[in-house]
Chains A and B, each alone.
Chain A
């Protein structure tokens, strides 16, 4: 019986990769542990080892092929005595399904779309990007790297420090190439001591340098939170305005995929609680680039909350010399008239898909991408609420004392008379993140929940 060799997943979030190189040819004998191929993900190049013994019967994916999906059949391994015809037969069979069972999540999005007249819900122009600006594709990862590199070229006081940022090129490859360009003085690998290097960074900032402190994830920044809050955020006030800390704390935040409770938490509301901090949570590559450059230039401590799932996603960004976005300004991503969807960070992924499906159902959703959590651009939200009368917020964080809670409070306070329905929020569930695939899916929000919430506030069945 020929054995299928499948495209392996090499990280928790990998969905596809490039088959860079075959190290064995058809007809070669393979023993378990032999390196048979090299695979490139957006983060690293990895070797693929054979698990079984046999003869490489047929290569199904040529080297150099990009975008090979995880679990796609890439070769056939023949057992002793089997011939090439068996390989051909195996190649035409479908790959074994190894997917998790579908969760019993509310699946409103799967409901038959109501035949509806087209509605006005369209991608909106970004007022920060003049019409006619040339655009290019960029992943969020590249945008973050480019933002740091540009600011480091511009200002010798800017440096980046953190675990694996230099020689390893970043645990998530965000700092790729920075060591080569800027050297070990400005791209600094730290020991695994979050509390210590966060404090060191704040001290350097008090002395006037402009550190970018990378946390491998914000989950680890809980070890450093005293320095972020007590040392960085409060010193300007406690010194009567004499001494602040121009520092950026950045790194992936929130859930990745299948990494369990201790590595899957969104800290936006924690930091947004603190006067003296700015909190930025970008979604697109343009958000990432424009806002990180602004954060590095900002004289205040800025918490910059990225998301691992978004790192590899590609967006159009302005192809201009110095693209900087203002901190504290939300962006209307889609205009609409029936309901206001407010989201930020990875919550935007569900929100934008929901807006598309809602449009097909005849519901016109206006989508606001907050971009910054603190200071909160409530005015943009209120202007939209006055138009639509309905609000749904979408985020992955826990519901209790969430950013959504704050938005709901401010909207009822400042636009109570404009509301035609209670404000609803779609959030992560109030549980530590489970590991099991089906439970994890249930713990996170989904497009169906967003659509259900919109139906509820628009009183449509």
Chain B
């Protein structure tokens, strides 16, 4: 083992302070070299409560979406984000105005984090005219130029090349913005991911590649699909720094996101964050998830739940009472109920919409 590798090991060891989401969940960075920021961000009361509310909104929203799917009100594919909330919320807390997000088909959480109206998201899921895409996109295809959210893409891995293009546009325009391209452990084996890595590093494009490693690409575990399972090092042959992050701890996500965004914004090129996380539900609503044990899921829920972690810290620090948190919960439930109400009562798109928005 070379000296540099030893140093990195030591550096990684000093960072093992998080509660962790399992064997691979410690925050550690390799390849970044000059990385000395802490693995866990020190959250203020406001940050904790903000994260709590944002994650809870995603959780409750997705639970409601699952319910509406079961009632036949949402059709087709529906991929829920439950369990992974800390990833997108931590990144949202780190980003600046103008930074873009783009992701794959498990996108509801990203849209809510990017401040898109829950009513518009839910009405799109039910295919109604008030949906963000007028009911013509569905669960996997929603966009908002105004909020810098670029989809919502149904082809696994496509968002990586597209997100690299967003980074390209930032560099072309010299606007100081950074693109965040989210994709899963499954997508991380797609060829275009590496075509994108190459160009992004070659041209020093401001892109953070966020690999949401929820351990299964549909029903195939990372171990069964990937020759190497430390996905943070997938950019190593291009010289792109990467780190593994405890994606169940919103503070670890924020700290790593700060480092990644700063790296990109300062003109050093792309950065990879492997967010080690977990989805509680199946790949989609029609997936019974028989490829993993109930115990595995239960262990995650009880020991590493991203929302429960914040809740416990807030209560321990006396930053809020049970009553205060219940009030937030009530507020969030009301917002979700309102969006579900809207999504059920809003009319379907006018039939004339069939032939609109094909060409400008």
* Stretch of B45-53, B190-198, B271-279 contacting A (4+ beta carbons < 8 Å): B190-198
| Contact A196 B195, CB 8 Å, known A203-B150, A208-B169, A242-B145 | yes
Minimum Cβ distance to chain A for residue B179 (Å): 8
B100 part of interface (Cβ distance < 8 Å): yes
Instruction: Specify the chain B residue showing the minimal Cβ separation from A229.
Output: B155
Q: Which of B131, B191, B195, B196 touches A240 (beta carbons < 8 Å)?
A: B131
* B165 interface contact, C-beta 8 A: yes
CA separation between A204 and B154, bound complex, in Å? Answer: 19
CA A208 to CA B100, docked complex, whole Å: 13
- Residues of B with C-beta under 8 A to A199: 158, 160-162, 164-165, 192, 196
**Chain B at the A interface: mostly helix, strand, loop or mixed?**
mixed
Residue from B138, B145, B154, B199 within 8 A of A200 (CB atoms) = B199
Q: Which of B254-262, B325-333, B338-346, B352-360 contacts A (4 or more CB under 8 A)?
A: B352-360
Interchain residue pairs A-B with the least CB separation, the first 5: A203-B165, A199-B161, A196-B195, A240-B134, A207-B169
A203–B168 touching, CB < 8 Å: yes
A243 touches B134 (CB 8 A): no
Q: Which parts of B127-168 form the interface with A (CB within 8 Å)?
A: 131-138, 141-145, 150-155, 158, 160-168
26 contacts between A and B (CB under 8 A): A159-B172, A190-B199, A193-B195, A196-B192, A196-B199, A200-B161, A200-B168, A201-B165, A203-B169, A204-B165, A204-B166, A204-B168, A206-B162, A206-B166, A208-B169, A209-B173, A230-B154, A231-B155, A238-B141, A239-B357, A240-B131, A240-B136, A242-B144, A242-B145, A243-B151, A276-B359
Cβ–Cβ < 8 Å partners of B100 in chain A: 207
CB-CB under 8 A from B152, the residues of chain A are: 238
Q: How far is the CA of A205 from the CA of B198 in the complex (A)?
A: 20
Contacts of B137 in A (CB 8 A): 238-240
Question: In angstroms, how far is the closest chain B Cβ from the Cβ of A243?
Answer: 5
The reply to whether A203 and B136 form a contact with Cβ atoms under 8 Å apart is no
A193 contact set on B, CB distance < 8 A? 195, 198-199
Known: A239-B142, A242-B143. A230 touches B158 (CB 8 A): yes
Question: How many residue-residue contacts, CB under 8 A, span A and B?
Answer: 139
Binary contact readout A203-217 vs B (1 if CB under 8 angstroms, 0 otherwise)? 111111100000000
Q: Is A80 at the interface (CB under 8 A from chain B)?
A: no
B199 & A300 in contact (Cβ 8 Å cutoff): no
Contact A205 B165 (CB under 8 A): yes
Residue positions of A touching B, CB distance < 8 A: 159, 185, 190-191, 193, 195-209, 226-227, 230-231, 235-244, 275-276, 278, 299-300
Residue B13 interfacial (CB < 8 Å):
no
* Contact present for A244 and B360 (CB under 8 Å): yes
User: Does B151 contact A239, Cβ atoms closer than 8 Å?
Assistant: yes
**A241-B162 in contact (CB<8A):** no
> Which residues in A have their C-beta under 8 angstroms from that of B160?
199
Taking the nearest CB of chain B, how far is it from the CB of A220, in angstroms? 13
The answer to whether A200 and B165 have CB atoms under 8 Å apart is yes
Query: Assuming A209-B169, A238-B133, A243-B145, is B360 touching A227 (CB within 8 A)?
Result: no
Inter-chain contacts of B357 with A (CB < 8 A)? 236-237, 239-241
B202 within 8 A of A: yes
Closest to A301 in B: B359
Residue of A nearest to B193 (CB): A196
Query: Across the interface, do B161 and A195 meet the contact criterion of CB distance under 8 Å?
Result: yes
Distance, CA A208 to CA B148, complexed state (A) = 12
Q: Which of B137, B138, B169, B173 neighbours the largest number of chain A CB atoms within 10 Å of its CB?
A: B169
Give every chain A residue within 8 A of B161 (Cβ-Cβ).
Answer: 195-196, 198-200, 202-203, 227
Partner of A207, one of B134, B158, B166, B191: B166
How many Å from the CB of A211 to the closest CB on chain B? Answer: 8
CB-CB < 8 A to B202: which residues of A? 191
Closest Cβ–Cβ distance, residue A129 to chain B (whole Å): 26
Q: How far is the CB of B353 from chain A (nearest CB, A)?
A: 8
Whether the Cβ atoms of A195 and B164 lie closer than 8 Å is no
**A-facing mask of B74-103, CB < 8 A → 1, else 0?**
000000000000000000000000001010
Contact status of A202 and B134, CB under 8 A, knowing A196-B196, A230-B155 = no
CB distance from A284 to the nearest CB of B (A): 25
Known: A204-B165, A205-B165. Contact between A240 and B150, CB under 8 A?
no
Docked complex Cα distance between A242 and B144 (Å) = 7
- Our pick among B134, B142, B163 for the contact of A203 (Cβ within 8 Å) is B163
A339 to B360, CA, bound (A): 36
Min Cβ gap A274→B in Å is 10
A278 vs B359: C-alpha distance when bound (angstroms): 9
Interface flags for B93-132 (1: CB within 8 Å of A; 0: not) read 0000000101000000000000000000000000000011
Cβ contact within 8 Å between A236 and B144:
no
Shortest Cβ distance from residue A198 to the other chain B in the assembled complex, whole angstroms: 8
Min C-beta distance of A230 to chain B, whole Å:
5
A191/B195 in contact, CB under 8 A: yes
Docked complex Cα distance between A206 and B101 (Å): 12
Q: In chain B, what residue has the closest Cβ to A234?
A: B141
Known: A199-B196, A226-B155, A276-B358. 14 other contacts (CB 8 A): A199-B158, A199-B192, A201-B165, A202-B161, A203-B165, A203-B168, A204-B172, A207-B165, A209-B168, A235-B151, A236-B357, A238-B141, A241-B134, A300-B359
Which chain B residues lie closer than 8 Å to A185 at the CB level? 172
Chain B contacts for A231, CB-based, 8 A? 153, 155, 158, 162
Which residue of A202, A203, A242, A278 contacts B133 across the interface (Cβ within 8 Å)? A242
CB-contact partner of B196 in A200, A237, A242, A243, under 8 A: A200
How far apart are A44's CB and chain B's nearest CB, in angstroms?
A: 26
Could you say which residues of chain A place their CB within 8 Å of the CB of B166?
A: 203-204, 206-207
Pick the contact of B162 from A202, A275, A278 — CB < 8 Å? A202
Which residues of A sit under 8 angstroms from B102, Cβ to Cβ? 203
Provide the bound-state CA to CA distance between A235 and B159, in Å: 12
CA distance A1 to B152 in the complex (A): 74
CB distance from A272 to the nearest CB of B (A): 14
